[in-house]
Structure 1
Amino acid sequence: MSAPERSGFAPDWLALREPADAAARDRGLVVEAARHLRRPDAGAPLVIRDLGGGTGSMARWLAPLLPGPQHWVVYDHDPGLLERAREHPPNTSADGRPVTVETRTADLAGLREDDLRGADLVTASALLDLFTREEVEGVVAACVGARCPALFTLSVKGRVTVTPEDPLDREIQEAFNAHQRRMVGGRALLGPDAVEAAAEALSRAGARVVTRSSPWRLGADRRALAAEWLEGWVRAAVEQRPDLAARAEAYLSRRRAQCADGGLYVEVGHEDVLSLPPGGAR
């Protein structure tokens, strides 16, 4: 995930990152996905199932980019986050049609094709890298079986560029990436390998796959997010490699000062994946 783990699902963190997420996602993939959706005048609203949707930020970003009436079903394991999704739904679609939102508390690791039946589009954001290979393949099988497009955005790629450079950058990055691939409760997380695993599984299942880079670009205008991300990035690295602790504290001190002065620029690599079912546009 691209969030620091201690606040990865905290509402304040999700609110802080929402504008950067919106700026980073590749809109070209939205245009491509829209070609495979039902026409806005087809009668019933588009049904969009948003996996791990949290507070509903994906719906708030995507609904205004798609025409026609829409009904979003937002899934998450956290009822508190889903309450916020209900309280702050998108206003209207791209052509001013109504958008409705319902929420469902769910464990996505066991997602099945039947759970997505009737969907016109499946979406997820910053989710795949939290899964194991088997769990990603399960999500892929469900999406392909439902025969609808699926848009997965903002999966981490393990590439971080911090300017100005620091001698410890590479060690911190490598330790963080190892932390993202760690074992959790007997589960081996994919972390930066999630996009490749998902794309391979989708291709094997016969889907057409399109990927695009979607990095966060955090400069002085987003220093609050950069500062929070930096703390979590280093903390996870030290959790993975405790021997870094002393040097990492000095590193953080330098970086905090640069961030406060507006002199820090961070690019955090993500990738978006669009899956299109066989058979072309509807």
Structure 2
Amino acid sequence: MTEPATTRHDATAPERPVTRDATGGPAPGPRDAAHAVSGRRDAAGAVPGPRDGTDPGRPADPLRTTGSDRSVVPGAGPVSRPGERATLRLRETGADEPPRYAPEWLRLREPTDATARSRGLLDPLRARLVRTPRRADGLVVHDIGCGTGSMGRWLAPRLVGAQHWVLHDRDPYLLHFAAAASPRSAADGSRVTAETRRGDIARLTADALAGASLVTASALLDVLTREEIGTLVAACAGAGCPALLTLSVAGRVELTEPHPMDAEITEAFNAHQRRGGLLGPDAVTAAAEAFAEHGATVRLEPSPWRLGPGQAALTEQWLRGWVGAAVEERPDLAERADAYLAERLAACAAGELRVVVHHHDLLALCAPVDGGA
């Protein structure tokens, strides 16, 4: 993986890290960002969030029309107003800059993600890590596509011993959030430190993971292509480290009470997730097969979101993104989807809606490169 910059951060220190761009200068903050549109959504259907200065909590009308153009609710993240662009790039120039996922959306989903992740994979992971050689500063954990760092905040306090987290993301804005809010201590009170690396998963290599004790990712696999998953798997296998990859969408959703359009919206959303060669709900199977081909022992566990009245804000945003993506895929659904979404949102507001969004977690125990346990 070609990494233009690395920023070390001690989670116990009060100062904030500066993530530097490829030229070595400070990466611009949100006020310097220009706006551009990207079609890529996250595992729950979210495109990167609204431009700075908008109210991310402001509700939008279901699939509201503006003039003669239909303005589809842009994903399950915080909803921007009709007509506003849904994503950010870092500069006016530089089309290779990544779109930015809204920190507000990532914060909104973090508690539900934390509850959903499988605890059943932790014991075999811990058993492997006990037999893993450690550096002086403890386990070395690489978090790929870390976003705001929610995986580290969930996992670091569940592992024993000192840890050093290497946070990877293409977006320096999110890396800043991740480093500033990285966990301070492990399960036994040992020190946890972190550094950030800006880069692209398409260029990840075993060399970039040299010395890694573990690779993690959350809500990542389903927004990757088969080639990108192959790159990730080959890097982990080449480095001989286990991988814990959580919250990959399974393509199944249950809503209470059932509605005749549920299956049609689900099918259209899943097709949208497969746009442009992305694997969407097929990703976890593809990853499991790829790891097995590299000789890894693979375990899968369910990790469903269970949304009820206590998660109404998340449910509302998820509904808007789920239905919005379905209509982007199948515009012929729009008129019926308007009524469907309005009905579901009303049930959500009344505390009557229950939703299960199915995901899978994957643990791959790759053979150590030194032939050890």
Could you state the TM-score of these two structures normalised by the residue count of structure 1?
Answer: 0.95
Secondary structure at the aligned position of 2:217 is classed as strand
**Residue 53 in 1 paired to residue 142 in 2?**
no
Please list, as runs of the form range in 1=range in 2, the aligned pairs for 1:19-58 lying within 5 A after superposition: 19-38=111-130, 43-58=136-151
For the residues of structure 2 that align with 1:222 and 1:281, how far apart are their CA atoms?
A: 45
1:18-74 deviations in whole A, cap 9, x for unaligned? 000000000121221111114699543110000000111000000000000000001
Work out whether residues 128 and 194 of structure 1, in 8 Å CA contact, stay in contact via their aligned partners in 2. Answer: yes
Task: Give the alignment of 1:115-154 within 5 angstroms.
Answer: 115-154=208-247
Deviation at 1:110, TM superposition (A): 1.8
Measured after TM superposition, the shift of residue 200 of structure 1 is 0.4
**1:253 is aligned to 2:346:** no
What is the Cα deviation at residue 115 of structure 1?
Answer: 1.0
**What TM-score does the superposition give when structure 2 sets the normalisation length?**
0.72
Match of residue 270 from structure 1: 359
> What pairs with 1:66-145 in structure 2 (closer than 5 Å)?
66-145=159-238
Unmatched 5+ residue regions in structure 1?
none
Distance (whole Å) between structure 2 residues aligned to residue 41 and residue 90 of structure 1: 22
What corresponds to 1:239 in structure 2?
328
For residues 115 and 156 of structure 1, do their structure 2 counterparts lie closer, same or farther at Cα, with a shift above 3 Å needed? same
Give the CA deviation at 1:3.
3.8
Taking only the aligned residue pairs, the percentage that are identical comes to 57
1:229 Cα deviation (Å)? 0.3
Amino acid at match of 2:108: L
- From the CA coordinates, give the structure whose radius of gyration is larger: 2
Contact 1:24 1:215 in 2 (8 A): yes
SS at match of 1:27: coil
Which ranges of structure 2 fall in alignment gaps of 5 or more residues? 1-42, 50-76, 78-100
1:106-255 superposed matches below 5 A: 106-183=199-276, 188-255=277-344
- Shift of residue 272, structure 1, vs aligned partner: 0.4
1:10 correspondence with 2:10: no
SS of aligned partner of 2:196: strand
Which residue of structure 1 lines up, in the alignment, with residue 26 of structure 2? none
Q: What's the C-alpha RMSD, in Å, of the aligned pairs? A: 1.6
Q: Does the 8 Å contact 2:237/2:367 carry over to 1? A: no
CA contact (8 A) 1:40 1:69 kept: no
- Is the 1:40–1:68 Cα contact (8 Å) retained in structure 2? no
Taking the aligned partners of 1:6 and 1:235, their CA distance within structure 2 comes to: 14
Tell me the distance in 1 between the aligned counterparts of 2:252 and 2:192: 36
Letter in 2 for 1:50: D
Structure 1 SS opposite 2:128: coil
- Please give the per-residue CA displacement for 1:145-199, whole angstroms capped at 9, x wherever unaligned: 110110000001100001111111111000000000011xxxx000000000000
Higher helix share: 1
**Paired residue secondary structure (1:165):** coil
Q: Name which of structure 1's ranges 41-50 and 172-181 shifts more when overlaid on structure 2.
A: 41-50
1:114 and 1:101 map into 2 onto residues whose CA distance is: 19
Q: Is the 8 A contact 1:51 1:122 kept in 2?
A: yes
State yes or no: 1:62 paired with 2:104. no
- Report the 3-state secondary structure (helix = DSSP H, G, I; strand = E; otherwise coil) of the residue aligned with 1:81: helix
